[in-house]
């Protein structure tokens, strides 16, 4: 699996610091070059903009509903416009997630293990689809 992540830049949009750090560790162990972290929509959009000038983002994990009550759909919209594959992570049931126009985006429900996220990201990067 390291080959899918070797040299890759992964965005993690998650408002729970412990989950963020667990995902970062798992992604780095899997071979990711960089894990970009964001806890809020504005922070994520800014991180995407910055990353574009530094080599881009190869894939992302997006917590569907952030602690500030915002939906992360604007982040998904921006990533999809850039052709970046992503997975929604959520505490909701998968059927309760309004994915907007991203109907083909995978949904992983909490509690999940970091290995499940890494596997899902590897799969969507192999497919090379944003939706």
The closest of 9, 11, 10 to 72, measured between CA atoms, is 11
Question: Which pLDDT tens digits describe the chain residue by residue (131 residues)?
Answer: 557 888 899 999 999 999 999 999 999 999 999 999 999 999 999 999 999 898 899 999 999 888 777 888 999 999 999 999 999 988 767 666 667 788 788 989 888 899 999 999 999 998 864 44
The CA distance from 36 to 48, in Å, is 9
Q: Which pTM does this prediction carry?
A: 0.89
The CA distance from 28 to 109, in Å, is 22
Q: Are 7 and 33 spatial neighbours (Cβ–Cβ below 8 Å)? A: yes
Q: Are 78 and 45 spatial neighbours (Cβ–Cβ below 8 Å)? A: yes
């Amino acid at each position: 699996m390291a080959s899918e992540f070797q040299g890759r830049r992964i965005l993690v949009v998650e408002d729970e610091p412990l989950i963020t750090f667990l995902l970062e560790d798992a992604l780095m162990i899997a071979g990711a070059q960089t894990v970009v972290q964001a806890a809020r929509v504005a922070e994520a959009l800014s991180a995407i903009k910055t990353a574009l000038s530094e080599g881009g983002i190869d894939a992302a994990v997006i917590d569907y509903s952030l602690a500030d009550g915002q939906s992360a759909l604007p982040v998904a919209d921006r990533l999809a416009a850039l052709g970046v594959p992503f997975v929604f992570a959520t505490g909701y049931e998968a059927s309760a997630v309004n994915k907007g126009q991203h109907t083909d985006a995978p949904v992983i429900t909490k509690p999940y293990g970091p290995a499940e996220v890494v596997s899902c990201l590897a799969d969507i990067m192999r497919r090379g689809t944003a939706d």
